Structure 1
Amino acid sequence: MVGIKDGARKSTSGLSLAAKSSAGVSWLMMVQVVSKLLTFVLNQLLIRFISPKVFGVSAYLEFIVNVILFFSREAVRLAIQRVKLSDKKNDVEEATTAAITGYSDLTETGLLQSIINFGYVPLAIGVPFSLVVVWYQLKSATFLNSVRTLPNHEFSMAMIWISIMLELIVEPVYLVNQYQLNLAKRSKVEGMAVLFRCLVTFFIIFGVSRWTNLYQTQLQFEGYTVLAFASGQFAYSFTLFLLYNLDFQKSYPNNTRMIQPISSKGGNSVYWLNPSVLAIWKSLVAQMFLKQILTEGDKLLINYLCTVEEQGVYSVVSNYGSIIARLLFQPVEEYVRLFFTRLLAVKLKSNLDEASRTLTYIGIFYANLSSIILLAGVPNGPYILGFLLGRKGGWSNTNLFEVFQQYIIYIPFMAFNGVLEAFFSCVASKSELVNFSKFLTGQTLAVFVTMYVLIGRMDLGISGFILSNCFNMLLRIAYCSNFIIKFFRGYGYSITLLLAIARFKNTFLITAIAFAIEYKLIIGGPTTSTFRQLASNVVVCLFALLLCLIAERNLLLALYRARIGKRV
């Protein structure tokens, strides 16, 4: 299906790495805004007449998709960023001869072909792994009690599996675009996929609800609704598959090859999978397994310990609670992985200076944004969610609004962990990755013990999941922060935890005072309860944001001058 021939494009020449990465992040943020807006509108249109059970089943199916895709491709996506082209003079001379007879890893064409080769590893893993997961889920209590009883559940499961296969088949093309920092192209493709998913889901549910002779019972309606969510996932995956391949054929009209042998060192040896990338990938596989258990541990346990109604509550909480986090934090994590992997492939003084400076800017941005999220979300979140969903509907019989407030506190932990681990994965050596895997093993036990105490003994339910995940993220933040401090110290940079805390003292002080004003002078209780209180809190949040901007005025002015200087 895909391959690379001698007409391959130059990857990043003509634009600096930082500029191209930043431009790509802007595209990703824009698409995140559009996709989340579409998803938000879809939820608002559907949530008032769809039961918590249906949302729970759709969350369960989404969980299956995410687990299979994560274990199949995540380690490959991280490892492939370590691919680099040799710039040694004798290597280039050897490449001239080698390129005549085939693909050489000393040429841009051969390097891209090696990425294509590695892109089929997720498919090779995903096919058997998906069959095992689906077979296991068919015997689970959640499937037997909540999915199997629904009409058309066979079609729903089939569409979910086909969707997974489509995304894995197109993975080689995705990796080429990712390596070449074609984030704008990726953003457009994913934006179209999200649009079609929302449209397909909505129109099927809307059509079924209007065409009442399709069903006579609520159970039949729920079956069609779940099928609509599965169809939406299929529309998303098929759009990715179609658009990525059409673009690839347009950019490389003569490419029909799939996996090809790659010659190394002027043809002295041949390989199919890049040995250095393969070694990194092997180190990452175990780490990805442990990270998935820890990161998705709440979903793993919720699927087996909670009813589908409770799963529906958590699905709504996580979707609404992480809207801002996914809009801003996820694109920044993508930027960190791409930018620092390429920048620090060579540890030059100028590269390290830029890395240290950029990481500092990201930390300042995260600290200020997290403060505003907590300030605005903790007191006001439940009231706003109640306004959006309606407190008199089926959700009023759940603890949705109390849990939502707790989830907002979890967002900064998730955000800082994401960016710090992204940097760690960019620069860590094979031995450091192994050490991190050992740390995650011990941490897994600690987190599961915490979950057992909070949920099994203290009966905190979903609140226990959130608290244990905060503990989980805090441990990982501490590990990665310590690694980053040691990393930069090794190159002569002075970084300490106290210095970092002192850097954010103004932000912490502003946030603490604003919280005191909200709770003591405005609300007088745990959450906002009237529109007047909400309006007053908005004024406090805006004033706090203004003070944070004033506190960081020197940094903002320096960034503005640097940007103007680059344009000139």
Structure 2
Amino acid sequence: MKGPELLAGAAKAATYNVFLQLSIRMMTFILNAVVLRYISKDMLGVVNVRLTLLYSTALFISTEAFDQACLSKKEGKNWTQVVNLMWWSWPVSIMCCGLLSFVWLFALALPDEDVVPHYGWGVISFAVATIITVLARPHFIIGQTHLFVKLRVLSVGLSELTKCLTIVFLVINFPNLGLISFSIGQIVHGITYAVLYYLTFYWYLGDKSKPKDFVFQRTRDFFPQKPKDKEWLDKDMVSLTGSFFKQSLLKQFLTEGEKYVMTLFNVFSFGDQGIYDVINNLGSMVPRFIFLPLEESGRLFFSQSLNRGKTYKDQSQASVDLAARVLYSLLRVVMLLGMLILVFGYAYSFLALDWYGGEVLSAGTGPTLLRWYCLYVLILAVNGITECFYFAVMSQTQIDQYNRRMVLFSLAFLGASLLLTNQFESVGFILANCINMCTRIAHSVYFIHNYYKGSAYRPLLGLVPSRSLLVSLVVSVVITVTSETMFCCDAGFLYQLLHVGIGGVCFLSVIGTIVLTEADLISFIREHLLHDTSPKQLKGE
């Protein structure tokens, strides 16, 4: 697949993923709004923090290293060997789920059985759901490689929808089931996800209109088998997987760090964990449905357009040129969006929490936590783009070196979390995450600077905002904070609407400044990211 086609396909994948993440977040918020009227805060904390952490940890460790290795660009890639390697993720998931289930049941503090009944069934069910989900991983990799973006949206979206509907039905009609309701919903999620992938590719392989050069022609090709004149596994990919596997353990800890600290050190009650998780979900809406899809599509584009471990001089000139422009544009986009969130999130955090959850969320440290989260969103967005480029082009030796550095990042984050939560309670988690992400950004920026050193490319300039934009943002934050002090939030609903209106005017003025000062960025987005050259049918028509 050529560079422009790959970029267009990755851009379309980002568009569909934005829709997907938005849909999932809305389903989650509706689910929380409904079930909070039927379950306790303690049960919400157990489900959304502890059991969800079990599922995400097992799934990430079981699949991330295999995904990274199998998606990497490699000349003469043998797809039978790729499938054989991907199927190793399933026994890894069984071992991982078994070990984590033992820890969750016998090494951690258990919730009160009277408040949160059937905890053991919840742990086992979430582990089983993980194993079922991993059964579709080879199909997922083939779909990702060939840009089956609609398939991913449908599989994740429908599985989340069936889970939410199942949980709501059981919680409302059978409130005494406790965690069993959430356990059944999670297993339904895993089954729906796997079945959709299997049925879709079974249908697709039988479709006579599919491209003749598609890598597989039979359903049997999705399962392990001996390649012709080759070993069962590609030794280079196995070695690369091992390097990524060590990295994935540390990356998962850094990604879900606050949940690990809450789970392992029990710094908050389950009820407080539930409230923190609700606010955390609200603050992470933008990273999940905008920045994460951009990061995933960027990683796909860079990994498929640039050869791993080679300098820019040893790459195709056209690929290097396009990759530099894409990196600059992505950094520019996330920087602009992140600064908008930081500026306007500061003055509207209290009002957003008050409208969404009432005094339960707006009282206490909730608004302060959300304001700091707005800063974290900006830092998180920049880290996602810089790391997706870094992980796509670094050599295996550099991966191993980075793994050792990740150990230091993890230890520093753990120490900062324990120290800052002791001083600032839940806000300390956000501060520790900001420090951790800034350290990782500095490392990635240093790599990118050295990668393009000696060339005419300067993609890191995408992180430098224009003077006009900075002036408009400073004026907006002064106006909106003053408006909050005068009109929000105990003066009545009409004054709250006036506060929102003032913010809307400021927001439009900043957008106008961006349109006038970022003509090159807008032109690039229109030329490449909105140009429809992606594959048809399931691939995102």
Q: TM-score range by the shorter chain?
A: 0.7 to 0.9
Q: 1:238 is matched with which residue? A: 191
Counterpart mapping for 1:149-548 below 5 A: 150-208=116-174, 220=176, 224-252=177-205, 254-256=218-220, 258-263=223-228, 267=229, 270-303=230-263, 304=265, 305-345=267-307, 347-391=315-359, 393=360, 395=361, 399-456=365-422, 458=423, 460-489=424-453, 492-495=455-458, 499-500=461-462, 502-519=464-481, 521-524=482-485, 531=496, 532-548=498-514
Change (3 A) 1:522 1:493: same
Residue 67 (structure 1) shift = 0.7
Residue 500 (structure 1) shift = 4.8
Residue 338 (structure 1) shift = 0.9
Amino acid at match of 1:62: T
Q: 1:82 is matched with which residue? A: 72
The more displaced of 480-489 and 398-407 is 398-407
CA distance in 1, matches of 2:397, 2:435: 26
Residue 533 (structure 1) shift = 2.0
Structure with the larger RCO, 1 or 2 (CA within 8 Å, 6+ apart): 2
CA distance in 2, matches of 1:31, 1:502: 30
Contact 2:420 2:428 (8 Å CA) reproduced:
yes
| Helix, strand or coil at the partner of 2:452 | helix
- Kindly indicate whether residue 14 of structure 2 is the aligned counterpart of residue 25 of structure 1: yes
Residue 564 (structure 1) shift = 8.7
CA distance in 2, matches of 1:206, 1:539: 43
Contact 2:73 2:304 (8 Å CA) reproduced:
no
Which ranges of structure 1 fall in alignment gaps of 5 or more residues?
1-11, 87-104, 106-110, 210-219
CA distance in 2, matches of 1:513, 1:53: 43
The one of 52, 56, 71 equivalent to 1:66 is: 56
| Helix, strand or coil at the partner of 1:256 | helix
Contact 2:42 2:271 (8 Å CA) reproduced:
yes
Residue 121 (structure 1) shift = 1.8
Amino acid at match of 2:125: M
Counterpart mapping for 1:50-65 below 5 A: 50-59=39-48, 60-65=50-55
CA distance in 2, matches of 1:559, 1:322: 25
Amino acid at match of 2:225: Q
Amino acid at match of 1:32: Q
Amino acid at match of 1:74: E
Change (3 A) 1:535 1:153: same
Change (3 A) 1:115 1:564: closer
What TM-score, normalized to structure 2?
A: 0.87
Larger radius of gyration: 1
Q: 2:36 is matched with which residue? A: 47
CA distance in 2, matches of 1:285, 1:565: 36
* Number of equivalenced pairs: 507
Q: 2:536 is matched with which residue? A: none
Change (3 A) 1:150 1:165: same
Contact 2:66 2:89 (8 Å CA) reproduced:
yes
Give per-residue Cα distances to partners, 1:404-456, cap 9 Å, x unaligned.
Answer: 23222211111111121111111010111112112212222322332233234
Contact 1:510 1:548 (8 Å CA) reproduced:
no
Change (3 A) 1:21 1:390: same
Residue 527 (structure 1) shift = 7.4
Change (3 A) 1:560 1:19: closer
Contact 2:332 2:462 (8 Å CA) reproduced:
no
Contact 1:56 1:315 (8 Å CA) reproduced:
yes
CA distance in 2, matches of 1:288, 1:525: 48
Contact 1:372 1:545 (8 Å CA) reproduced:
no
| Helix, strand or coil at the partner of 1:272 | coil
CA distance in 1, matches of 2:56, 2:487: 35
CA RMSD of aligned residues (A): 2.6
CA distance in 1, matches of 2:529, 2:111: 58
Contact 2:258 2:417 (8 Å CA) reproduced:
no
CA distance in 1, matches of 2:397, 2:10: 28
| Helix, strand or coil at the partner of 1:271 | coil
Which ranges of structure 2 fall in alignment gaps of 5 or more residues?
207-217, 308-313, 534-541
Contact 1:83 1:277 (8 Å CA) reproduced:
no
Give per-residue Cα distances to partners, 1:281-309, cap 9 Å, x unaligned.
Answer: 11111111222222222111111222111
Amino acid at match of 1:375: V
Contact 1:146 1:308 (8 Å CA) reproduced:
no
The more displaced of 47-56 and 472-481 is 47-56
Change (3 A) 1:148 1:419: farther
Change (3 A) 1:147 1:377: farther
| Helix, strand or coil at the partner of 1:16 | helix
Change (3 A) 1:262 1:461: same
What TM-score, normalized to structure 1?
A: 0.83
Contact 1:380 1:528 (8 Å CA) reproduced:
no
CA distance in 2, matches of 1:124, 1:133: 14
Residue 469 (structure 1) shift = 0.6
The more displaced of 152-161 and 281-290 is 152-161
| Helix, strand or coil at the partner of 1:138 | helix
Give per-residue Cα distances to partners, 1:175-219, cap 9 Å, x unaligned.
Answer: 11112221222112211112112211211122235xxxxxxxxxx
CA distance in 2, matches of 1:371, 1:543: 14
Identity among equivalent positions (%) equals 23
CA distance in 2, matches of 1:148, 1:261: 53
CA distance in 1, matches of 2:89, 2:483: 53
CA distance in 1, matches of 2:529, 2:358: 46
Residue 399 (structure 1) shift = 3.4
Residue 528 (structure 1) shift = 5.3
